[in-house]
Amino acid sequence: MTSVELNKTTLPSVDDLQARAREALAAIFERPVDTELGEPGGPGVHASTPITGEALFTLVETTAQEARAAITAAAEAFTVWRTTPAPVRGALVARLGELLIEHKEDLACLVTIEAGKITSEALGEVQEMIDVCQFAVGLSRQLYGRTIASERPGHRLMETWHPLGVVGVITAFNFPVAVWAWNSAIALVCGDTVVWKPSELTPLTAMACQALLERAARDVDAPPALSHLLLGGRDIGEQLVDDPRVALVSATGSVRMGQQVGPRVAQRFGKVLLELGGNNAAIVTPSADLDLAVRGIVFAAAGTAGQRCTTLRRVIAHTSVADTLIERIAGAYRSLPVGDPSTDGTLVGPLIHETAYRDMVGALEQARADGGEITGGERVDVGGDAGAGAFYVNPAVVRMPSQTPIVHDETFAPILYVVTYETLEEAIALNNAVPQGLSSAIFTTDIREAERFMAADGSDCGIANVNIGTSGAEIGGAFGGEKQTGGGRESGSDSWKAYMRRATNTVNYSSELPLAQGVKFG
């Protein structure tokens, strides 16, 4: 791909971005944060920005000893927190939600600086945190068990749910704050404590979230050691994975990461909640409302510069609508403003780093070699020399003759492959043919097609939508997927059960001692 000059703007200077970050952090910490933010380039964790590709600050890295101490403190705090009434635990999360509302713009500013999200998406991510806090507060009074009919007279059989322990949370760069909130808000009302290892690419947002939770704990007089932040690389994450005091490891990242985390936690009989890759498809049928379909496809495929796990990566279009659909998607792509994500009107921000760009280039080269017809995908010169270290691209739409191996791979970039189908059965088979199973969609006005897509022999994904794209899930539903996506569920519905342990209780309130299954003994 060659560099082109489209949507060329002036990028903010590194001094300007540093000042914005300091101001946002100072508002959240309620004090200057100069002591926490070292000069860029020193030893430690490097806070950078994909907006210009430059380093902003150097932060102190958590040592192995400090990580062990954090897990110890969380385990000790758990012994107090687990017996705290759940509605009292909910008061902590309620206060966190209030602080998130107060500092919504501050936190969104940091998300934009570190993850490169456009302002509206960054604000939306913080709103997701607020929403899940509200959900968790209600949940704190609804951690229900069940009563089960006993076969023995004078007996009651029931299930109860109890706090699990220390929850280790490992998050990715693309949702640097929302996924932490999904896990932490639910875990805390369930009576667990949390130790968080964020992506090395987003340490500033992590510091801000931890500061807000610590403020919330002080405000409601909760134990101060309920949540801990570990800044560092793979070795710090491995401590969470391997420590037997960490009852649950909730990890978001690549399939390769999950293939390593899952067996290591299982070896010590811990629990895992994995949110891994997605290779999400939308079927577009002959009856589809194409205006609706194009809008849904473009946001799902190009939003966050294609760097969501729920990003739309494949369109499976009926042969009768494919030509028109591709033309309209390509036209919409050409109108998308690419540039500084903090600027009003920008719809596509930067890729996170050069590796992501190189992966996109390689995928498009392979698609072309496989017979793909590519529109878009060029690197965009946004800031001239000032943006030489940043990687902005035009979203690409690629018409493929078939689902070749490259289409089965998840490339974390705005590449949309389009293949065609003749029958709905063929389309569903193409949807299910990839190793991942996170999100899926169908655009149709035929109720039979919609119901068939959501049936047991329809989409094999954890999310199956009708007349809406694959991204932008609400917190009320359980979020997660099957196959190489990992099988975990977070956020809404009954996902809280992953953070608790189940006990089956039998109570004999009679003066007899009948045995189950009619067994006689003595």
What is the DSSP code string of 149-182?
--SSTTEEEEEEEEE--EEEEE--SSSTTHHHHH
Tens of pLDDT, residue by residue over 396-439, are 999 999 999 999 999 999 999 999 999 999 999 999 999 999 99
Beta bridge partners of 229: 196
**pLDDT above 90 for 18:** yes
CB 116 within 8 A of CB 49: yes
Tens of pLDDT, residue by residue over 185-237, are 999 999 999 999 999 999 999 999 999 999 999 999 999 899 999 999 999 99
The span from the CA of 221 to the CA of 227, in Å, is: 14
* HSE (side-chain half, CA atoms, 13 Å) at 158: 10
**275 flagged as catalytic:** yes
- Which one, of 71, 103, 93, 407, lies nearest residue 240 by Cα? 71
Residue by residue, DSSP assigns 6-30 as -S--PPPPHHHHHHHHHHHHHHHHT
Beta bridge partners of 380: 4, 392
Q: Which residue has the tokens 């403020």?
A: 215
**pLDDT above 70 for 178:** yes
pLDDT at 350: 98
Q: Which amino acid is at 106?
A: D
Q: Which of 275, 410, 449, 490 is catalytic?
A: 275
Token couple for 275: 């949110």
CB 412 within 8 A of CB 36: no
The span from the CA of 198 to the CA of 185, in Å, is: 16
DSSP state for residue 197 in the 8-state scheme: E
The four Cα atoms 447, 452, 458, 463 give a dihedral, to 10 degrees, of 30
Q: How far is CA 479 from CA 111, 274, 275, 280, 464, in A?
A: 21, 11, 9, 14, 11
Q: Which of 125, 309, 449, 461 is catalytic?
A: 309
Q: Which amino acid is at 298?
A: V
Tens of pLDDT, residue by residue over 435-455, are 999 999 999 999 999 999 999
Tens of pLDDT, residue by residue over 352-398, are 999 999 999 999 999 999 999 999 999 999 877 767 899 999 999 99
DSSP state for residue 445 in the 8-state scheme: S
**109 flagged as catalytic:** no
The span from the CA of 26 to the CA of 204, in Å, is: 12
Q: What SS3 state is found at 281?
A: strand
Which H/E stretch holds residue 56?
strand 54-59
Structural domains in the chain, CATH included, are 58-276+486-504 (3.40.605.10), 280-474 (3.40.309.10)
pLDDT at 386: 66
What lies within 8 Å, CB to CB, of 124 at 6+ separation is none
Tens of pLDDT, residue by residue over 301-315, are 999 999 999 999 999
